[in-house]
Structure 1
Amino acid sequence: MPGFPALIGRSIFRSSSHALRFTHPTAAVVSAPPLRHRIGSRRALIIQTLSGPVRIERLSDSDSGIIELKLDRPEAKNAIGKEMLRRLQNAIATIDNDSSANVVVVSSSVPKVFCAGADLKERKLMSASEVQQFVNSLRSTFSSLEALSVPTVAVIEGAALGGGLEMALSCDLRVCGEESTFSLPETGLAIIPGAGGTQRLPRIVGRSAAKELIFTGRRISGKEAVSMGLVNYCVPAGEAHHKALQIARDINQKGPLAIRMAKQAINKGLEVDMPSALDAEEECYEQLLGTQDRLEGLAAFAEKRKPSCAPLLLLTIETLYEVSQKYVDDALLSRLGLVDFCP
């Protein structure tokens, strides 16, 4: 029987001839062995799973848990057309369903460009209704990127224009090189940033600064971007990926459940009034109280060592049944006393 994977992402509860119920009202905490069977040889530095204009690469060894989502359409400077959008949607869905993911680094394999925005050559061939459908799909895709349960870090070297900047705005953190340039030039094309730019930019840099950038469509440098809070760090050209990987490694060493709950609490809280925000924080905090991760963190602090949270997971009612179907049989779960299987 294969070992339990460290599943903590969202799962779909699948129907079966058996009905499932918990024997305890709280979620079950189960220890799990390393994930060798899930991500291949741990000797490899990078394990590639998707190819084409959008690639997914999983880092291994001490960086296991870090996933890189790379844009790779050099002939169009990573401009987003229909095919690239479809690949981006598939990549985000793959990451969303990957329970081994702890942090995602979004970057470009194309020198001196992050993403040039929408593919305007392809756009010229679309009808008005096709354009609307495409932009709606792009907006939904970036919302899916933003909604990932794990932190995302955008790496910008070179140009992040239009939809490219809107993609970066959908990430939790942004790191750029000094030679990077940023712009939302849509008003110069008699349109507006339609993939979330008019909403995310003011939430990040403030209303007045966002209006000025969108109204004028002017380009700003990496240094100006960091000064207005558009990016978290601006580093020497060529070093943005290294800095982003440092951040990803710092995140990857923290309790994975805590990171997810922290992101959820922040995102929920920013959209409501303060009393409701504090309720959201309380709800997220309570979900961590019964986990072995929290107890391990306290023990590690007392023993002056680094905590080891990787072998532990929180199984919710949404994930338990799917895990049991894939990795263990009914009899084993029953012997462990985790669930009852009722005919």
Structure 2
Amino acid sequence: MSYVTILIEKEETTAIVTINRPSKLNALNKETIGELHDAFKDLQKDKTIKAIILTGSGEKAFVAGADISEFADFSEKEGKKLAAKGQKQLFDFVEGLTTPVIAAVNGFALGGGLELAMACHFRVATVNAKMGLPEVSLGLIPGYGGTQRLPQLVGKGRAMEMIMTAGMISADQAKTYGLVNHVTSQEELLPLCHKIISKITNNSSVAIAHAIKAVNAGFKNTVNGYEQEIEAFGACFGTDDFTEGTTAFLEKRKADFPGS
């Protein structure tokens, strides 16, 4: 499939998805959200892909926000529909993927950009990255899950301050807050992501998929995360990966997981 606003590159078992709107600092618009959904959906189906890196083109921005020109004249009803559709189509969709997704934050991650990074399973940032949710400075609030995911990651008090001040924090501060896992240089951003992925792909992709579902369940009010963990733990016993993993351990050799 060909795309207008994103680029897809595959390197062995890893896919790199690059948001490619450098003249707009990679701002999200309807077309980009739609293309990202389609790309993630296709990559999830591709059993040769074990992990996905999401980043932005250039060295200035991961995603500098949403394209405000698309909704500046929206009514209340249209605004609600925009948030609901965007959350379902992209942000909740990415969070729920059972293929690990790492956000490689290579610059500004603001508004919808930070919300997209937070929907990924974890984040690696460059030293020049800046993160924030500036929506209240526009008379809005974050609408793509920011009011929910930010407190989960940094705590209620810090999230309240970030949202209410509409300010930006540095990559180092984001690491201190627990918003990003690692901070590195522009040159080492993708190599570091690949290094982490190499550790991930040594393990059972089936077990990782179950782990993602179980961890996500703990942050949903309608789901008992402990019960989800029990169900997922039990399900692992019926997989070929479990048989191979335990057999390899007992035979004192490296496991060769079939992924089933």
What is the TM-score normalised by the length of structure 1? 0.71
Contact 1:175 1:231 in 2 (8 A): yes
Name the residue aligned to 2:207. Answer: 258
Which of 84, 87, 98 aligns to 2:32? It is: 84
Alignment of 1:100 with 2:52, yes or no, is no
Distance across 2 between alignment mates of 1:151 and 1:69: 13
Check the 8 A contact 2:22/2:58 in 1, yes or no: yes
Asked if residue 267 in structure 1 is aligned to residue 219 in structure 2, the reply is no
Distance 1:165 1:151 in 2: 18
Find out whether 1:52 has 2:4 as its counterpart.
yes
Letter paired with 1:198: T
Q: Distance between the aligned counterparts of 2:230 and 2:78, measured in 1?
A: 44
1:19-34 map, 5 Å = none
SS in structure 2 at match of 1:239: helix
How much does 1:131 deviate? 4.1
1:187 is paired with a residue whose SS is helix
Q: With CA pairs under 8 Å and 6+ residues apart, which has the higher RCO, 1 or 2?
A: 1
SS in 2 for 1:286: helix
Which of 238, 244, 248 pairs up with 1:296?
244
Answer whether contact 1:269 1:281 (CA < 8 A) is retained. no
Length, aligned pairs only: 258
| CA distance in 1 between partners of 2:8 and 2:199 (Å) | 21
Match for residue 279 of structure 1 among 227, 232, 236: 227
Structural mapping, 1:303-314, within 5 Å: 303-309=251-257, 311-313=258-260
SS across alignment from 1:176? strand
Alpha-carbon spacing, 1:268–1:131, altered in 2? closer, same or farther (3 Å): closer
* AA matched with 2:145: G
Between 1:256-265 and 1:241-250, the stretch displaced more is 241-250
Alignment of 1:171-250 (within 5 A): 171-250=120-199
* 73-82 vs 209-218, greater mean Cα deviation: 73-82
Q: Shift of the alpha carbon at 1:70?
A: 1.4
Instruction: Give 1:19-168 correspondences, 5 Å limit.
Output: 50-60=2-12, 64=13, 66-124=14-72, 126-128=73-75, 129-140=77-88, 141-168=90-117
- Partner Cα separation in structure 1 for residue 7 and residue 85 of structure 2: 20
- Point out the structure with max Rg over C-alpha: 1
Q: Conserved in 2, the CA contact under 8 Å of 1:185 and 1:217?
A: yes
Query: CA 1:132 to 1:278, structure 2 compared with 1: closer, same or farther past 3 Å?
Result: closer
CA distances 1:223-262 after superposition (whole Å, capped 9, x unpaired): 0000010101112343222211211121111111110111
Distance in 2 (CA, whole Å) between partners of 1:312 and 1:163 is: 34
Match for 2:5: what amino acid?
Answer: P
TM-score in terms of structure 2 length: 0.92
- Secondary structure of 1:238's counterpart equals helix
| Structure having the larger proportion of residues in helix | 2
Conserved? CA contact 1:155–1:240, under 8 Å: yes
